[in-house]
Amino acid sequence: MRIPFLFFLWLLLAVGPAVSGAEPRTDRPNILLIYADDLGWGDVGCYGSQAIPTPNMDRIARAGLRFTDAHAPSATCTPSRYALMTGEYAWRRKGTGVLPGDAALIIEPGRTTLPSMLQRAGYITGAIGKWHLGLGTTNLNWNGAIQPGPLEIGFDHCFIMAATGDRVPCVYIEDHRVVGLDPADPIEVSYAEPIGTEPTGKANPDQLRIRPSHGHDQTIVNGISRIGYMSGGKAARWNDESMSDQFVLKASEFIRNRAKKPFFLYVGLHDPHVPRVPHPRFVGKTQLGARGDAIVQADAAVGALLDVLEEQKLTDNTLVLFTSDNGAVVDDGYVDQAVERLGTHRPNGPWRGGKYSKLEGGTRVPFLVRWPAQTAPGSSDALICQVDLLASLATLVGQKLEPGQGPDSQDLLTTLLGRTRHGRDHLVEHAQGLALRQGTWKLIPGSTGSPVAWQTGNETGNHPDAQLYDLSRDPGETHNLATENPKKVEELTALLARVRQGHPTR
């Protein structure tokens, strides 16, 4: 009896922690997920951009895999990030559209998320940069403890902006507190009524250094009018020019201070989202004005993070993922020379549409994967989506997902690591309304709604008639085959209806 008991004890000590996930396995890679904001497929050198130097993004591609048919889950930020974190298509849930800066957290604490799954696997997890998934519950007091937020859905640490660069409150939040807040100058935020006595872009255009082209005419912070009103918190307000450096600094600290555990670090870059206010050292680095220069700044941030991995001797065993939350937009609300100086540059590459669009440019984004210990360099045309990261990384770290967890997330680990070219069978693309990809077929059901997204000039893909494209022959979605091929339209319409009705895609 003694020997089996001792053997049992040994088994428990040796295997138990690995099974329960309490102790990290040393063979698991660190995971660095860099998520750019509004960066288009065609903006990156290794995807063919000639006008914007991106040597560091290209550096990831040189030693890794470059995906050409990878998608953000939606054509705007909040729903893409929601799906990335939860493994569920955002359009299944109400309230997952672009959020105001004072929105409540839209992911229920306790739910299985990308960070909570990795936490369970023994990872230390951090979120730095853009959040835009809401904070707190209703009527959040920005001067107290800001929760629930990232820390309640699986991150051990965070340093974030609440929403976007163009939305108030223009302050950083570290864990549960606004950074640098003077209690004598409390912050108030409103998206309904003007608040306090601060100048607005609408009433005081003379005080602006960048004019809005549409919207963006409320409280002025750092010479730029934003969406929403805020008052107070003067000492805590961010400086747009140093935002990228600030995120790099915090992300670098996180990597350097990691405990003896593998880490998962999510870095939401702000660039090249509006307002585009790169640090002076990047101004004029391209001929494209602020948008091009902001991409050079994003590239420098990527380079700085890769350098920290190098310095910490973590390059070989860190899985680096680099992608963007939606396609590109040129005029997204400020007059910043992006339109005038675009020249022949095509921010969305060969794809039609862009941010806000059901056409390919809405969601087809750069997607790079590097893990020198495991991936051979190359490129892949497999159809993949960021919603798949939850299930794929769960497999990587040996975590099981129950059927309801990450219901739309498919395990494409072998695809991500370049061991197969096989990706998804089909994917729902989401902007205002849905579209469906299956193989190289693309269906956009007939829809009302504007053909162009506000004053951005980006085509939305809305049209009263159904559109059917064969991307293998017509990547630019110019030749509608719907009348020629009604059977295909019917087949894809039925498949979209099944997925929409909750047919699990995992």
Site residues (vs Ca ion, CB under 5 A):
37-38, 77, 325-326
Nearer to ligand NG6, 301 or 468 (CB): 301
φ, ψ for residue 309, nearest 5 deg: -60, -45
Residue 481 interacts, among ligand NG6, Ca ion, none and using kind-specific CB cut-offs from 5 to 8 Å, with none
Beta partners for residue 33, in sequence order: 266, 321
Residue nearest to Ca ion (CB): 77
Nearer to Ca ion, 152 or 325 (CB): 325
Nearer to Ca ion, 133 or 492 (CB): 133
Nearer to Ca ion, 76 or 225 (CB): 76
Give the contacts of 487 (CB within 8 A, at least 6 positions apart).
Answer: none
Beta carbon of residue 192, minimum distance to ligand NG6 (angstroms, whole number)? 15
The amino acid occupying position 473 is R
Residue 274 interacts, among ligand NG6, Ca ion, none and using kind-specific CB cut-offs from 5 to 8 Å, with ligand NG6
Beta carbon of residue 456, minimum distance to ligand NG6 (angstroms, whole number)? 8
Residue 215 interacts, among ligand NG6, Ca ion, none and using kind-specific CB cut-offs from 5 to 8 Å, with ligand NG6
Beta carbon of residue 420, minimum distance to ligand NG6 (angstroms, whole number)? 32
Nearer to ligand NG6, 98 or 471 (CB): 98
For residue 259 the two structure tokens come to: 């405990």
Residue 98 interacts, among ligand NG6, Ca ion, none and using kind-specific CB cut-offs from 5 to 8 Å, with ligand NG6
Residue reference for tokens 């709604």 = 449
Beta partners for residue 178, in sequence order: 173
Torsion angle, CA of 444/449/451/454, rounded to 10 degrees?
-130
Beta carbon of residue 216, minimum distance to ligand NG6 (angstroms, whole number)? 6
Beta carbon of residue 133, minimum distance to Ca ion (angstroms, whole number)? 13
Beta carbon of residue 78, minimum distance to Ca ion (angstroms, whole number)? 9
Nearer to ligand NG6, 71 or 273 (CB): 273
Interaction site with ligand NG6 (CB under 6 A) = 37-38, 76-77, 98, 132, 164, 166, 214-216, 227, 273-274, 326, 332-333, 454
Nearer to Ca ion, 325 or 360 (CB): 325
For residue 437 the two structure tokens come to: 């990809």
CA distances from 254 to 9, 192, 210, 259, 393 (A): 36, 37, 34, 10, 21
Residue 454 interacts, among ligand NG6, Ca ion, none and using kind-specific CB cut-offs from 5 to 8 Å, with ligand NG6
Beta carbon of residue 273, minimum distance to ligand NG6 (angstroms, whole number)? 6
Sign of CA pseudo-dihedral 359, 93, 131, 200:
positive
Give the integer Cα–Cα distance in Å for 55 and 60.
9
- The counts of H helices and E strands in the chain are 9, 20
Give the contacts of 159 (CB within 8 A, at least 6 positions apart).
Answer: 127, 128, 129, 172, 173, 174, 179, 247, 250
Nearer to ligand NG6, 166 or 477 (CB): 166
Beta carbon of residue 32, minimum distance to ligand NG6 (angstroms, whole number)? 21
Give the integer Cα–Cα distance in Å for 327 and 71.
9
Give the contacts of 301 (CB within 8 A, at least 6 positions apart).
Answer: 34, 244, 247, 248, 267, 269, 271
Strands 65-67 and 367-370, sheet pairing = antiparallel
